Amino acid sequence: MHRTSRHLTSTNPSVQFTGAPGSGVAAVSALLADPSGFVYVDSNGNGRRETDEVGIANVLITLSGLTNTGVTVNLETRTDNYGFYQFDFLAPGVYSVFETQPAGYLDGAESVGNLGGTIVADGFTNIVLRRGDIGINYNFGERPGLLDGSGDANHDGIFDSADLLLVFQAGEYEDLIDNNSIFEEGDWNHDGDFTSADIVLALQYGNYKR
């Protein structure tokens, strides 16, 4: 059998299977389902993914479940460069989705997607998929790690002048207001403020790119 469509969408929740040429097997269209979401840096800590928040690539996501016909399903995938993941071509059933906590980040808040389910540590359980369901926004928020003093405020993997520009634009450098800064605003030693101590810590890492 040959599958002739690839990604499911809200306007195309089906996949077509056809037999090999000359096999006599007619085309069959099956309404399948898929859950998807993002792993991202929850910069403001509100537990909701926003358009300016950066995705985390190459995070391992696993799915397990049981179809309505009693078939056990175990799959895994990794997030793409935008932090997006998707499991497609799933038969109706009840599923769970979990992430492997990405290195260098603290666990943030998960947000359950549009089909519902139960939020657990680093995952979602009891996701009920019916024929043609398109599950979106099963998202995993992360926070910068406590020991991450690297200075990479914009999370592009490089500590350079763009990071310094970003944190100084926030206007919180030694502003005498306690506990008003986050990592993306220069608080790289996680004491709640952006001061010269944060810059010293980041430079001590020795990875500043000119």
C-alpha to C-alpha distance for 99 and 86, rounded to whole angstroms:
12
Q: What pLDDT, on a 0 to 100 scale, did the predictor assign at position 127?
A: 96
- Domain of 200? 159-209
Report the percentage of the chain scoring pLDDT > 70: 82
When pLDDT is averaged across residues 91-115 and rounded to a whole number, the result is 91
- How many structural domains comprise the chain? 2
CATH number of the domain at 94, please.
2.60.40.10
Q: What is the mean pLDDT of the chain?
A: 82
205, part of any domain: yes
* Residues 39 and 124 occupy one common structural domain: yes
Position 8 pLDDT exceeds 50: no
* Residues 129 and 99 occupy one common structural domain: yes
User: What secondary structure letter does DSSP report for 131?
Assistant: T
Q: Identify the domain boundary among 99, 118, 144.
A: 144
* Residues 166 and 137 occupy one common structural domain: no
* Residues 175 and 105 occupy one common structural domain: no
b/e string for 183-209 if b means 16 or more Cβ within 10 A?
Answer: bbbbbbbbeebbbeebbeebeeeeeee
173, part of any domain: yes
Q: Confidence band (pLDDT; 50, 70, 90) for 145?
A: low
Q: Confidence band (pLDDT; 50, 70, 90) for 43?
A: confident
114, part of any domain: yes
Cβ-contact 172, 181 below 8 angstroms: yes
Tell me: the pLDDT tens digits for 50-77? 888 889 899 999 999 999 999 999 999 9
Task: Give the predicted TM-score (pTM) of the model.
Answer: 0.61
Tell me: the pLDDT tens digits for 106-140? 888 999 999 999 999 999 999 999 988 889 999 99
Q: What pLDDT, on a 0 to 100 scale, did the predictor assign at position 17?
A: 38
Q: Which residue has the higher pLDDT, 103 or 153?
A: 153
* Residues 140 and 180 occupy one common structural domain: no
64, part of any domain: yes
* Residues 42 and 78 occupy one common structural domain: yes
Q: What pLDDT, on a 0 to 100 scale, did the predictor assign at position 154?
A: 86
Tell me: the pLDDT tens digits for 155-168? 887 889 999 999 99
182, part of any domain: yes
C-alpha to C-alpha distance for 167 and 152, rounded to whole angstroms:
10
Q: What pLDDT, on a 0 to 100 scale, did the predictor assign at position 21?
A: 54
